[in-house]
Amino acid sequence: MVFNTDPFVRAFHQDFSKNGQGGGVGVVQRIAATNKFAVVGGGSAKNSARDTIVIWDNLVGQFTGELYFGSEVKSVRLRWDRIVAVTMHSVSVYDQKDLELLHEIETGPNPKGLCEISPWGRMVLVCLGSDKGEVRVEVEHYGLSTSRLIKAHNSDVACVALSNDGRLLATASTKGTLVRVFDTSDGRLLQELRRGSEEAEIHSLCFSSDAEWLAVSSNKGTIHVFSLDTGSGSSVTDGSQEAEQKNSSFPHLSSFKGILPKYFSSEWSMAQFRVPEDIKHIIAFGHEMNTVLIIGMNGRFYRCKFDPIGGGEMTQMDCRNFLQPLDSEYIIV
């Protein structure tokens, strides 16, 4: 099912189950602003093809391409000119037009299928490196490719995100207390953001379209929005150093940097919204200024607005259940 989010309405749906006899859908991604989708089998159906990506053209109502792999496809990332397939130990980059294999990258174990690509301009791809806590940044520009490894965390990487232009990279580890923001061009650590003091499972990271904000969700039930300051000025060059203070929950302690533990010197979120704990939520920024979209695996869709000056609790603007019967729309109050 595909939905418009503002106004919230189902745009269309497609049933691949062949009257309940076929396989389920495990992964689906839309190819830019087209009617084409990359689909991987999954769900509870045992006969689903989890090792194959098929291209579905919704305009003509049929499959128009297929990519087969010898192992389960963990995730797919798309842009207008590339299809990126992620398996447990590799990332494969294909030309979107003729499905020709262009590049293959070996990675460390990647059960979550972590990988992101920039949606336009030069293609920036980030995936896992070979070592624990390491990410690889691949940049393709005018037919030339460069590669860089960044030691992002001491623990395994749990989540990654790229800004729309591919300039900024956000990472979180399995510890889940800190989010780090890097410059993809040189690997510099620009900011260190603190989600909280208790360990958590980070579910989603997302930059706003102008890269002024970063949203974070976790199993702790709070959606955080951080203010970013990633200009050309001074930056953090090592993970053990403190980031510059901005919108910290402890601004009066800034003069004690280097003396107090890093817990106090990390930057804290400026806006928050509560959702049910232990339910995975995916986040994005809306087209309206200072709005956040939240999609829960329990079927809930939220649209919230945050105050870019005062911060604090976000205001809920809309809440829907997209798992309700298809012939009706419900507003949750």
**Residues sharing a CB contact under 8 Å with residue 9, sequence separation 6 or more, in sequence order:** 3, 329
53-92 confidence digits (pLDDT tens): 999 999 999 999 999 999 999 999 999 999 999 999 999 9
At 326, the pLDDT band (50, 70, 90 cuts) reads low
CA distances, 191 to each of 112, 128, 154, 178, 242 (Å): 25, 20, 17, 10, 8
Whether pLDDT at 266 is above 80: no
Can you give the C-alpha Rg of the chain in angstroms?
A: 20
**Residues sharing a CB contact under 8 Å with residue 25, sequence separation 6 or more, in sequence order:** 16, 39, 40, 41, 42, 43, 48
**Quick one: which of 113, 117, 205 has its CA closest to 102?**
117
Amino acid at 308: P
227-251 confidence digits (pLDDT tens): 999 774 434 444 333 333 334 444 4
Whether pLDDT at 13 is above 80: yes
**Residues sharing a CB contact under 8 Å with residue 307, sequence separation 6 or more, in sequence order:** 271, 290
Work out the average pLDDT over 155-164.
97
pTM: predicted TM-score of the whole model, two decimal places: 0.86
199-218 confidence digits (pLDDT tens): 999 999 999 999 999 999 99
At 120, the pLDDT band (50, 70, 90 cuts) reads confident
23-59 confidence digits (pLDDT tens): 788 899 998 778 899 999 887 766 678 999 999 999 9
**Quick one: which of 24, 60, 16, 20 has its CA closest to 41?**
24
At 317, the pLDDT band (50, 70, 90 cuts) reads very high
Neighbours of 245 (CB within 10 A): 18
Work out the average pLDDT over 161-183.
97
